[in-house]
């Protein structure tokens, strides 16, 4: 049973490495993209912000792209906010993709380890039942020791997988929170600009009167 456990551990490790690289890239790109686009958003130059975002396929690029495209068509904050919420709903599953398998593999490694131990003990007691009485104690001790190694190997595989699952889940949540914060900042800038435009229009009407 140790070979299936080893296979589970290797697959889980491969998933963990792939997810870590993906999340690290997303986090790095989010910081870099926000540093580029924030001045344009603060100045209210949404056309320049659209050019910066362009056809960026990274999380923040897709999120801001959805909001900026809607902002160019409508002026209502609610419509832009709904568009960005839809963008987040599309982005989050991609960030969380395959991470949940780590928890499943951790449980699987533990259960396979226990199965190996139980099957090993069954075989050990069956062998001891027909063995020479003088050799029973030694055979039983050796068989139990070998069977328990399977549980130890399963637990030794499951614990790192559980740790990686918790770590990657935390990092993913951090990226999602960064995206949500960027969306809120953009919506606040949009609301402020809309309020200023409305105030300017009212002032022009008063001046004309």
Any idea where the domains of the chain sit in the sequence? 2-113+157-208
User: In Å, how far are 20, 31, 79, 175 from 179, measured between CA atoms?
Assistant: 18, 10, 18, 6
What is the mean pLDDT of the segment spanning 53-60? 77
Whole-model pTM: value is 0.77
**Helix (H), strand (E) at residue 142:** helix 136-208
Model confidence pLDDT, tens digit, residues 100-110: 899 899 999 99
In this structure, how many other beta carbons lie within 10 angstroms of the beta carbon of residue 174?
13
Summarize pLDDT for 112-131 with one digit per residue, the tens: 888 888 887 777 777 666 66
Q: How far is CA 135 from the centre of its chain?
A: 54
Contact 168, 19 (CB under 8 A): yes
Neighbouring C-beta atoms of residue 128, cutoff 10 Å? 18
Q: Quick one: pLDDT at residue 14? A: 93
pLDDT per residue over 24-51, tens digit each? 888 888 888 888 888 887 777 778 878 8
- Give residue-wise pLDDT tens across range 155-170: 999 999 999 999 999 9
Please state, rounded to an integer, the average pLDDT across all residues of the chain. Answer: 80
In the predicted structure, residue 204 carries a pLDDT above the cut 60: no
Structural contact between residues 36 and 181, judged by C-beta atoms closer than 8 angstroms: no
């Amino acid at each position: 049973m140790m070979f299936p456990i080893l296979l589970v551990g290797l697959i889980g490790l491969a998933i963990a490495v792939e997810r870590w690289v993906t999340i690290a890239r997303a986090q790095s790109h989010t910081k870099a993209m926000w540093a580029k686009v924030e001045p344009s958003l603060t100045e209210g130059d949404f056309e320049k912000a659209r050019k910066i975002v362009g056809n960026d396929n990274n999380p923040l690029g897709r999120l801001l792209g959805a909001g900026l495209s809607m902002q160019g068509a409508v002026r209502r904050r609610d419509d832009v906010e709904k568009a960005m919420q839809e963008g987040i709903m599309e982005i989050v599953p991609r960030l969380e993709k395959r991470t949940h398998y780590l928890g499943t593999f951790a449980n699987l490694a533990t259960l396979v380890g226990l199965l190996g131990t139980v099957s090993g003990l069954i075989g050990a007691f069956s062998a001891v039942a027909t063995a020479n009485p003088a050799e029973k104690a030694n055979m039983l001790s050796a068989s139990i020791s070998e069977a328990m190694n399977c549980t130890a190997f399963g637990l030794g595989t499951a614990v790192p997988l559980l740790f990686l699952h918790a770590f990657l889940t935390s990092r993913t949540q951090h990226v999602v929170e960064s995206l949500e914060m960027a969306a809120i900042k953009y919506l606040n800038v949009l609301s402020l600009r809309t309020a200023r435009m409305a105030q300017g229009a009212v002032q022009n009407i008063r001046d004309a009167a």
